[in-house]
Amino acid sequence: MKKLCLVILILTLFVSFSVIAQQSYQPTYPNYSMNLTKVGSNAPFGDLFTYGGQNVPIYEVGKLSNAPTYKHAFYQWNISNTQVPSVAIIDSIVITFNAQFVNSQTSEFNYFNCWLDLSDPNLNKTTLWNYSDKTQNFPIGDGLINTPPYNYVEQKHKFVNGSNFVNSFINSLQQYNRFTLGIAWKYESSSSENIYWRILPVNLKIYFHIPNQSVTLDQRLSNNLQVGKLRKWEGSEIGFTPPPYINPGTQFDFPLLSTQTIQGDQAIYSGEKYNNWNDDKTDVRNHKEFLITAQTNQLISKFEPTKPSITIQNNLELYSTSGGNIHFKDPWLIDFPDPLYGNALRNRGMDAPFKQRPSPFYPDYTTSYNGDVYKGVFLNQVPDPNNPNKPYYSVKADAVQDIYLSHTGKMHKFYFQNWSASPQGSADFQNANSLETPVVFKQEGATVQANLKGTQLSNNSNAYSKGSQRNSI
C-alpha cells in the first residue's frame, strides 16, 4: 500500500510539474544599442549599433566631467509572439552584463523603459534621453553595481512578476513587440562626483510559463445524450489514448495556444455516427486539430442519424438488372491513414476522393469494400454554393461502360443518360444530366441510379426519359 501511495505521489508531482513547466527565452544579443552622450544643455548624440556578428561595443554609463557630461546606454530587443507568446505569464526577468571599474567600485544603476525604436531613422534622441532621465521619468527598477578594480565583473539583477520592471516590459511587448532599456547612473547630477563605468552588452533572459485552459471533451447523440468514448493524441510514442479511452464530459487543462488533436468515437450508437465537431460543418474531419484559446471551453463530437438502406447502382436499359461500376464520394468515410498521427484512420471531409464500387453498391453499416465500411449515410446534406467546404455526397458514372449481360451472353457498350431516384423524390441531384453530381439523400430506402443505354438492345430510344424520377437540388 505504501508503495502504491508513493507511485501516485510521484505521478501527481510529475503532472503538476508538467502543467506549470517554466520556459525561458534568452537572445544572444540585443537587436540594437546606442550610447548617448549629453554635454550641458546640448542635445545628446551617439550612433546606432546593429548586432549581427562577434564584435560588440563597450559603452560608458555615468558622469564623465563637470561640464557636466553624462552618458546613458540603451538596448533594444525585438521579441515576437513566437519567442514569448502573448498569453505567457512572465515569472521573472534577469538582466546580466559585465561592468568594469573606472573610478568607483560600488553604486547603483537605474533602469528605464524607453519605448522608442532605436532603429527608427527619424529617432528623436532628445526624447530618448528624456525617457532615461530620472528627473523626467520614473525608473522601472534599479540594481547594485559592484566592480572591483581593473577586471570586468558580471552584474546580475532579477525582477519578478508584479514588479514595475516586469509590468513595463509586458506593456512594451503588447504594444510594440519590442523592449528598449535605458541605463543611467542612479546618482548622477550636476553636483555629483565624476563617476562612471564601462559595460558590455546587456543580456536579457525571460522566464515564463503558459497558463492552462480548462476544456471539456464531450460526445453526444442528436438527442443530447452522452455516448461512446473519445481519444486524444498523446504523442508519437503512445499514439491516441489507449483503452479505456476518455469518457464524455472529462475535463482537461490544456496549455493556451497549444494544438490538441482529438478523435471522436468512430462506431455506430443507436443508429447514429459521428458527423461534426461543435456544430462546425466546414471541416468534419475526425480526428481533428484544435487550437486552444481562451474561448475554447468544450469540444463536442456530434452524432447524427445514419441510414443503412441506401442503394447506388447502374440501371441498364430494358433489363431489371444492374452491373458495371459506379463511383461514390463520402466525406465521412473513414479510410485515410494519417501519417501525421501514426497512420490512425480518419475521414477526409471534402478532400475525400471518388471511389469506384461494383454496381449495385450498398453503403450500409457492415459491408466492407476492400476494408472501407461506410456505416450508412446522412440524409439532407445539401451543398452550400457560398461554402464549398460544407460537406455533401457526390455520385459519378462512367460515360461508357462495357458490361456483360447473361441474357445475351455478350459484352455490350452502355452509355450514360442521366441520374434518377427511386422512389421518386427520395434523392435530389444538382445536375441529373451530368456524369458527376452532388446528391442529397432524402429518405431511408432511396435507390440512386445512373441510367445507361446499351447498344444492340432496342430501337426504343425513349426507354428512359431524362425528365423522369428526378428532382434538382
Which domains does the chain carry?
21-209 (2.60.120), 212-305 (2.60.40), 311-472 (no CATH)
Joined together, the cell numbers standing for residue 204 give 536579457
Amino acid 10: pLDDT = 38
Rounded Cα distance between 288 and 338, Å, is 11
Edge-to-edge strand list for the sheet holding 298-305:
250-255, 212-220, 298-305, 272-277
pLDDT in tens, 231-273: 999 999 999 999 999 999 999 999 999 999 999 999 999 999 9
- CA distances (Å), 282 to each of 88, 89, 276, 351, 457, in order? 31, 34, 9, 12, 46
Regarding pTM above 0.85, the answer is no
Please check whether residue 70 is in contact with residue 60, taking contact to mean a CB–CB distance below 8 angstroms.
Answer: no
Rounded Cα distance between 230 and 252, Å, is 13
Cβ neighbours of 50 (radius 10 Å): 12
Residues of the chain with pLDDT under 50: 1-19, 459-470
| Residue (of 440, 316, 341) closest to 390 by Cα position | 440
Amino acid 407: pLDDT = 79
- DSSP, collapsed to helix, strand or coil, labels residue 437 as strand
Amino acid 11: pLDDT = 37
Amino acid 21: pLDDT = 82
Amino acid 471: pLDDT = 55
